[in-house]
A = this chain, B = another copy of it.
Amino acid sequence: MNETEFIAALRHLPLHEGARGLADDVAVLSLGDHTLVITHDMLVEGRHFLKGQDMADVAWKLVATNLSDLAAKGAEPLGVVLGYMLSAGDDAFVEGLDDVLSHYGVPLLGGDTVAGAPDGKGGQAMGLTAIGKAAHTPVPARAGARIGDAIFVTGVLGKAMLGFEALRDGTGADATAYSRPMARLAEGFDLAPLATAMMDISDGLLLDAFRMAEASEASFAIQGADVPVADEARRDDCLRWGDDYELLFTLPEGTFPPVQATRIGAVEARGFAPLFLDGEPIINSDGLGYMHK
């Protein structure tokens, strides 16, 4: 099976009503007066990280990407649970885990440590579950953008791309944006009561805007020139490359964002395509995100 087929097969299973995780990165679970937000990401050697990569950075990214999913739901992290296969670089992994958990003030709740395949041939794999408490309900989702809403994005896009290239080409330029991405937890927390839709743009602005428009059954009209980018000469790459972990969100017209963010477009009635970039329709999401993974 491929991923789409597997997720489709899971739809027949007993699913929790808050099991948006199969399509929306997170699950939402009510418990008394509280609402939990739960996210899980898995990393595989050779696919999400490379043998020989700095495992401290891998640990950072594993945690930060999960926290970014919580940020997009306006959730405050309560802790993380680690599933870890022992391999080379364990010392560095623990160091990076310490860095990222200390940075965010998020505790390790527990987890499972396993040895790899006895023949030593299997690559390493690891998973992390992050558990957060929603600051506001209903928890913001991808679906929810309404006609007339303004579209915003936090930060400057393309920094991760430049970081990746610096690492790949050994230029010595700052690669932090790629190797140690930041989750927009404070911003997500402040935006949750206001945003009609919100998500992180880990797969690139255009692809994720396409998905949000589809989920909201609307069309997103984005002005490419309004998007803050890290490299003006490669604006289009910056709009397509992922790994920036900025927040894409929509606000009712006239609502001022309480965090630093840039207005990049407007939500329109569903037209010919889910996404219009500078007036040009984007009908198909194939190849919309930069294929860097």
Chain A residues in contact with chain B, CB under 8 A? 1-3, 5-7, 9-10, 12-16, 18-22, 24-27, 29, 31-34, 36, 38-48, 78-79, 81-86, 90-91, 94, 97-98, 101-102, 105-119, 121-123, 125, 127, 129, 131, 133
Contacts and interface: CB of A to CB of B under 8 A. Distances in A.
Given A10-B94, A117-B123, A109 B79 contact: no
7 contacts: A3-B86, A10-B97, A14-B105, A14-B107, A16-B108, A19-B107, A19-B108
A121 to B, nearest CB: 6
B47 A113 contact: no
Given A46-B122, A115-B47, A118-B47, A129 B81 contact: yes
Contacts of A113: 3, 6-7
Given A16-B107, A40-B112, 4 more contacts: A16-B79, A38-B81, A40-B129, A47-B114
A277 to B, nearest CB: 29
Contacts of A98: 12-14
Contacts of A24: 110
A42 B86 CA distance: 12
Nearest to A12: B98
Given A2-B86, A81-B27, A127 B110 contact: no
B6 A94 contact: yes
A112 B24 CA distance: 10
A45 B117 contact: yes
Contacts of A27: 79, 81, 109-110
A119 B26 CA distance: 29
Given A107-B16, A112-B42, A32 B32 contact: yes
A107 B20 CA distance: 12
Contact of A31 (B2, B3, B31, B85): B31
A57 to B, nearest CB: 17
B116 A44 contact: yes
Contacts of A131: 29, 36, 38, 131
Contacts of A111: 21-22, 40
Contacts of A18: 109
Contacts of A48: 114
B14 A102 contact: yes
A102 B6 CA distance: 18
A82 B21 CA distance: 10
A172 to B, nearest CB: 28
Nearest to A90: B1
Contacts of A44: 85, 114-117, 122, 125
